[in-house]
Amino acid sequence: MKYSELINDFVDGKLNSADEDKLFSMLSTDQDMRYELRDSIRLERAFSNDAGSIAPSAAATVGVFGKLGVTPPGTAGMPPASGWKKFTAGMGKYSNAIISSAISSVATAVIILALLNPWGDKGNIQNDLQKSDANHAAVALSDSSDQNNDFPTVKSVTEEEMVVKNEKPVKERIVYRYIEKNQSTKDNNETSTSKMNNDEFSSNNEIRQMPEHQLKYAVADLNNENKLYYKERPVFAGKDEYRNLSAEADPWHELGLTAEVTANQYWSFPKASVGYSSTPLFNNTSIALMYKMDDDLSAGIDLRQEYFYQEYEGFENGTKFRYMQHPNYLSCGLTAKLRFMDFDYINSFAQVYVGGNQAGPIGRLMYGLEINPSHNYSFILGIEGSLMVYHHGDQYFYSPKIGMHYGIAFDF
Amino acid sequence: MAEDFRKYEDHELVQMMDGGKRRSDAAFTEIYDRYASSVFAYCLKVLGGKDQAEDIFQETFIQFYNKVKADHKNLSVRGFLITIARNLCLNYKRDKKNNVRIEEIEFLFKTYQGYEEKEMLELVRMAIELLDEKYKEPLILRVYNGLSYDDIAAICKTSSVNARTMVFRAKQQIKKTLKPYLKDIYKEK
């Protein structure tokens, strides 16, 4: 037997043990034979890969079943399954999406935590203050013992004094939110604030020689001497605060526009039993441009590429057919977002969408969180439910789906 | 509750196809699920073109559905399907000659540069196209349909030993054709 035949039988699994010994003995001394074995294995692997990649198209399957008038796969011959089994089977199918979403969420959380630095490197805070330029207004909070009441007063200090004071390590950081009354007293040099969100302070605190927009929000560092240092720009203030604070400094913020780019993962109902009809670039991706009507309400347009699984029935030449398709549509619509439960770095929102595509109208409800590590951008993570209505012949059908969306929004 | 048809043997499914429509449809669907890829692979490899392959593939299952009878107790469903597909492919090729020219394929070979696994796959596909018909079919039945040499012999109406020899020669021919390109693909000396 030639060595080619030995090799062929070996990769074919037909070689007996005696010939196998012979083959290995020959392989140990013959380099050409080793090359041939290697090529044979590569060839078998290529055959295997090729065979595994071949499958009839969905159109061919529909063609077979349609011509025979047989209920197509996915609706007949399905194994019985309990609710739990159906659930686990469904989860298994979407495991990639779930895992990738989970990874995205964890990565987002890690980035935010890193930015927020909740463990606090106080040296950084001090350096931050020391590096502050002349535009950063600074006020010192004098000891309460100096006053006739229990509340310290805030007064202006020189920048030189501020730097000296900051040589002391920062003991505590407090973020104050001032609710401004805009009441001018007879004394134009004095503007009063009615309340701070910290109970330690009351309306009789006085802030002197500060522009109005700087009075709304402040970040203060309280050092060991109980001196309060005021910074015009909060280090990690939410975007709303920053916008109010810096409206005069940055005119772009007055535009109140938000551009959102989000990706979507979804589950169709009923479960899709045919594959995607196409896979265009940016599928299941949306972009929205919204105008911020006030701090809580935004409205704008939303454009997205998305799949809708459609399963419907109809008659052709007197024969009833069940159609299944999973096309990609370009949907466009109007959307409005309402923010609520607003915290420093995070807020929740509810969003409604009304739009359509070439198949029919679409309604969508969304709920989620906006995480604001910076005043310029925020991360979005939420869930959504969509419903598309379409018709075939004189019948109307519905294509519902639920999913999650995640992305990033830029304010400008 | 829906019945699980995956538990049934081929011959049981064939018997069910002679029963009520609902069970018949479900049985046919199960057979389709089992063998669709295999039949399509055969059609695609024998005919070369996807459109023709899909036409023949559809016709194969339609003929199977119409021809199969419940009394085919010992029917090999895979063999029956491949036989139908084979006859349809032969008829198709007889009616419409395959016009793939060797010169064109050789040109395609030369245009490939910087090979990797994917390119290897493409080259193998084209090398199969270049095979002599008498070697090509047994090879397809062996590597794409997973048939035994006995089954290949039955379909090709030859002996088992001959079927094995033809598959071996087909592989040798492919290796010979690909030898210069394998060096390039894997950057060998």
**Is A97's pLDDT higher than 60?**
no
- Compute the distance between CA of residue A385 and CA of residue A383 in angstroms, rounded to an integer: 7
Contact A50 B144 (CB under 8 A): yes
Set of chain B residues whose Cβ sits within 8 Å of the Cβ of A78: 2
DSSP A281-340: TTTTEEEEEEEESSSSEEEEEEEEEEE--EEEEEEETTEEEEEEE--EEEEEEEEEEEEE
Could you say which DSSP state residue B147 is in? -
- Find the CB nearest A64 among B62, B168, B171: B62
Angle (CA) A262 A265 A268, round 5°: 135
> Looking at CA atoms only, how far is residue B96 from chain A in angstroms?
21
pLDDT digits (tens, 9 = 90+) for A354-392: 999 988 999 999 999 988 887 778 899 999 999 999 988
Residue B32's CB is within 10 A of a number of other CB atoms, namely 23
Helix B21-47 to helix B133-143 angle (10° resolution) is 140
pLDDT means over runs of 10, chain B (189 residues): 78 83 85 90 86 91 82 76 89 68 41 55 83 88 88 89 91 84 61
- Compute the distance between CA of residue B164 and CA of residue A8 in angstroms, rounded to an integer: 10
List all residues of chain A from 78 to 117 with a beta carbon under 8 Å from chain B.
Answer: 78-80
Which chain A residue lies closest to B145 (C-alpha atoms)?
A51
Q: How confident is the model at residue A98 (pLDDT cuts 50, 70, 90)?
A: low
pLDDT digits (tens, 9 = 90+) for B94-104: 776 545 444 44
- Compute the distance between CA of residue A405 and CA of residue A381 in angstroms, rounded to an integer: 6
Distances (CA, A) of A401 to A104, A245, A340, A362, B172: 21, 41, 25, 11, 53
Structural tokens at position A219: 């970040």
Half-sphere exposure of B64 (CA within 13 A, CB side): 31
Set of chain A residues whose Cβ sits within 8 Å of the Cβ of B117: 46, 49
Residue A42 sits at the chain B interface (C-beta within 8 Å): yes
- pTM, two decimals, is 0.40
Contact B175 A36 (CB under 8 A): yes
Identify the contact set of chain B against chain A, taking CB-CB distances under 8 A.
Answer: 1-6, 22, 25-30, 32-33, 36-37, 40-41, 44, 54, 57-58, 61-62, 65, 117, 120-121, 124-125, 143-144, 168, 171-172, 174-175, 178-179, 182, 186
- Compute the distance between CA of residue B94 and CA of residue A188 in angstroms, rounded to an integer: 103
- Find the CB nearest A39 among B3, B143, B182: B182
> Looking at CA atoms only, how far is residue B97 from chain A in angstroms?
23
**Is A337's pLDDT higher than 60?**
yes
Kind plus residue range of the DSSP H or E element containing A214: helix A212-215
Which chain B residue lies closest to A61 (C-alpha atoms)?
B58
> Looking at CA atoms only, how far is residue A81 from chain B in angstroms?
8
Per the rule left: phi > 0, alpha: psi between -120 and 50, beta: everything else, A284 is left
The residues facing A232 across adjacent strands are none
Contact B121 A49 (CB under 8 A): yes
In this predicted model, which residue has the larger pLDDT, A116 or A25? A25
Contact B30 A77 (CB under 8 A): yes
Q: What ipTM does this complex have?
A: 0.74
Task: Check residue A191 and give its pLDDT.
Answer: 40
